Structure 1
Amino acid sequence: MSLSSLSAHRLNNTRKAEIDVIFFNRCAKVGSESLLELFNKLEDFNNLNIEREGLRRPTKRQLEPREERELAKTVSGLEDGSVYIEHVNWLDFEDLDMPKPIYINLVRDPVERVISWFYYARGAYKNAIEYKKDPEKPTRSAAWYKKDFNFCVRSGDPECQYVPYTVIDATGNFKRQSLFFCGHSQDCLPFNSPAAIQMAKEHVERDYAVVGSWEDTNITLTVFEKYIPRFFQGVKIVFEMHNEKITNRNKNKRKPKIDEDVKEMIRKNFTHEYDFYYFCKQRLYKQYLAISLKDLNL
């Protein structure tokens, strides 16, 4: 693609939204807690309404058709300037005959995500939340909490074997980053499936205003501000003012160093997940470059 063909207008799906509401169907372990904290700071700054109902909902891998419709109705009924946030897969508002909101999300290196989840699941913060939700839930063994990721992969422990095309996992691990963009179809479930990845790409290209990444913080915040100004005006200033609190939100402080050969072992099973991840990053860079060229009047 030549530089002259880059158009911020064509790359901006915000204009396709039918209601002035953000639908942040946040992926797990991509830094969504940091973006939530940033929204908390922007709430008064930009006169936003952060709808927190979704933050209290239990996470489900997929929704039933009735649940999809109920959620779409909830989002569609929010007032202008609202932000709805939930760990939930992409919804087809058009198919549900509901007005389309402004879709946003974040992505992260697929292998770093699953490593982060492995230790987050064993952290005090998450388990305190789980206990509060269900005090009667059986506690796991001390050995499970002390499990080492390097050993887990090398030993063939089912928890750390990311087998392509599997649908049922030995334990919940959020390894399918693309699932949050693919949706609730059964075709989205097989892990590292080319078909699921293609569906996810199509939804990003068609619906999402911005899919950012904390790996490229400045680029992401710049694109958010330029492409969705109603919600993100002044976001870089706000971020700089509250940087420490935002970036430390829910930070995993006990994640040890993972051996490179272990990462390489499991990376081979994430080929299509990486394809999706790079697709989203490339799209983000195109959006950034398009506005940079526009600012330079090129």
Structure 2
Amino acid sequence: MYMSLFVFRAKTTNISYQPPPKNIRGSTTLAYTTCTNIDQQPLIGGHSPTTHLRPIHKISYQFQPAAFDPKSRWILYNRMTKSGSRTFVSTLLKTMNKYHNNISHQDVPFIVIGHHLHVNYTKYGLRQPMGLGLIRDPVERFISEFYYQRYGDKHTPANFKNMSMDIYNRTIEECVDMATHQRKRATPPGAGIAHFCGCQLNHEIHRFCGYEKRCTQDPDFALHQAKVNLNEYIAVGLTEELPEFFKVLEKLLPGLFKGLLGVYNESRAGQNNTRDTKTFLKRYPSNKYLAKLRALAFREYDFYYFVRERFHYQQKQVTLGL
């Protein structure tokens, strides 16, 4: 398994641990609508619009974000491709250097940052880490990855060595038409299309589901298991709401994340964080093809809106201090 790894260690004496609010640590049931069809609004200003889900039935999930456990000894930040991870890591490094500068190779806790599939560490006799994550609007993320693989950005060259020239030379519209045709012929009808044209459409669901075979063989199981596995994460935010994510982290774990939002705002003012990681030559397809992409990504939107509802609930509880 490929994994990029950073480890931050902070002296235990510097961790002013503040437990999450009781309502967050408790068991709260969220009845969430699962869907098979999506109604789209026109693209406005280069950003994905609100997507309306047509419900088929209700499923209740237990909302139990992991509480901070000092005995866990580590926090795992699960990076999603083209979802703001480099901005998060850069901001975290600057915050550590500015506010949490006492580094020790022996003391805990520490933060592990990398590209991971979800693992149940308790199966191997290990304590489950506390998870952190960021996810992005599925179509926005896919478009960014499509051009990132082909053209890279200021710091990262293009990465198309595992892509045939035929696939490399196809436009995003041609790739969407190909995937739409494959989905119509899929068994069962309407089954998810995970990969096409060198990119992974179900990237976030796959990462949160994990290594079980059914995560790649049964898209409905993968969606369900990804939602269940969210309970191992103390917070999963949205790329589109990165400042709000930083605010939640500062409230939950001020000893580790105090100053995160201020450092981010300083970097934004200087345009140091986001401009350098913008994908070269990225363009948006027409609204017709955006609608096709959203139709292909209906399970990904189900997961995205579930995470968004969960995050907004957590944000409200943390802000109010309930």
* Alignment of structure 1 residues 135-154 onto 2, 5 Å: 141=165, 145=168, 147-154=170-177
State the identity %: 25
1:39 aligned to which of 92, 100, 108: 92
Deviations 1:197-251 (A, max 9, x none): 11010110x2101101120122211111112323211111111111222222421
- Stretches of structure 2 that go unaligned for 5 or more consecutive residues are 1-20, 27-63
Structure 2 match to 1:203: 229
Structure 2 match to 1:178: 205
* Cα displacement (A) at 1:272: 1.7
* Alignment of structure 1 residues 60-99 onto 2, 5 Å: 79-99=107-127
The answer to whether the aligner puts 1:213 opposite 2:238 as a matched pair is yes
Deviations 1:243-296 (A, max 9, x none): 2222224211311122111011121122222111111111110011112222xx
Deviations 1:31-88 (A, max 9, x none): 11111111221222343799xxxxxxxxxxxxxxxxxxxxxxxxxx985142211111
Structure 1 match to 2:23: 7
Q: Is contact 2:84-2:239 (8 Å) kept? A: yes
The answer to whether the aligner puts 1:224 opposite 2:249 as a matched pair is yes
Flag the 1:231–1:99 CA change in 2: closer, same or farther, 3 A. Answer: same
Flag the 1:138–1:236 CA change in 2: closer, same or farther, 3 A. Answer: closer
- Residue 125 of structure 2 aligns with an amino acid whose one-letter code is D
1:119 aligned to which of 129, 139, 147: 147
Flag the 1:42–1:118 CA change in 2: closer, same or farther, 3 A. Answer: same
Q: Is contact 2:175-2:196 (8 Å) kept? A: no
TM-score (norm 1): 0.74
Query: Aligned partners of 2:253 and 2:86: how far apart in 1?
Result: 20
- Residue 107 of structure 1 aligns with an amino acid whose one-letter code is I
Q: Is contact 2:193-2:201 (8 Å) kept? A: no
Flag the 1:161–1:7 CA change in 2: closer, same or farther, 3 A. Answer: same
Flag the 1:268–1:196 CA change in 2: closer, same or farther, 3 A. Answer: same
SS in 2 for 1:122: helix
- Stretches of structure 1 that go unaligned for 5 or more consecutive residues are 51-76, 132-136
Flag the 1:14–1:245 CA change in 2: closer, same or farther, 3 A. Answer: farther
Q: Tell me which protein shows more helix as a share of its residues.
A: 1
Query: Aligned partners of 2:217 and 2:99: how far apart in 1?
Result: 41
Query: Aligned partners of 2:234 and 2:276: how far apart in 1?
Result: 25
Q: Is contact 1:49-1:82 (8 Å) kept? A: no
Point out 4+ residue stretches in structure 1 off by more than 6 angstroms.
none
* Cα displacement (A) at 1:159: 10
Structure 1 match to 2:320: 293
